[in-house]
Amino acid sequence: MITVLGGLVKELRKETSVPYEEVPGFPEFTVERHSGQLLLGSIEEARVALLQGRFHTDEGYSLQQATFPIRVLKGLGADTLVVSSLAGGMNPLWSIGEFMLIDDHINLLGDSPLVGPNDEFFGPRFPDMSEPYDIELQELAQASAIELGIQLHQGVYAAVKGPAFGTRAEYRVLKALGADVVGMSTVPEVLVARHMGMRVLGVSLISDECFSGSLRPVEVRKIISVAKAAEPEFTRLVKHILGRL
The identity of residue 132, as a single letter, is P
**3-state SS assignment for residue 40:** strand
pLDDT for 53 equals 85
Query: pTM for this structure?
Result: 0.94
- 20 near 36, Cβ under 8 Å? yes
pLDDT for 5 equals 63
For the chain, list the domains and their CATH numbers.
6-242 (3.40.50.1580)
Question: Using CA of residue 73, residue 75, residue 78, residue 83, what is the dihedral sign?
Answer: positive
CA distance 241 to 182: 24
Give one DSSP letter per residue of 84-102, joined into a string: EEEEEE--TTS-TT-EEEE
**3-state SS assignment for residue 48:** strand
pLDDT for 31 equals 47
Per-residue three-class SS string for 182-198: EECCCHHHHHHHHHCCC
pLDDT for 35 equals 61
- Print pLDDT tens along the chain (245 aa): 665 566 788 889 989 999 999 999 898 766 455 568 899 999 988 999 999 888 888 888 999 999 999 999 999 999 999 999 999 999 999 999 999 999 999 999 999 999 999 999 999 999 999 999 999 999 999 999 999 999 999 999 999 998 999 999 999 999 999 999 999 999 999 999 999 999 999 999 999 999 999 999 999 999 999 999 999 999 999 999 999 98
Rg (CA), the chain: 17
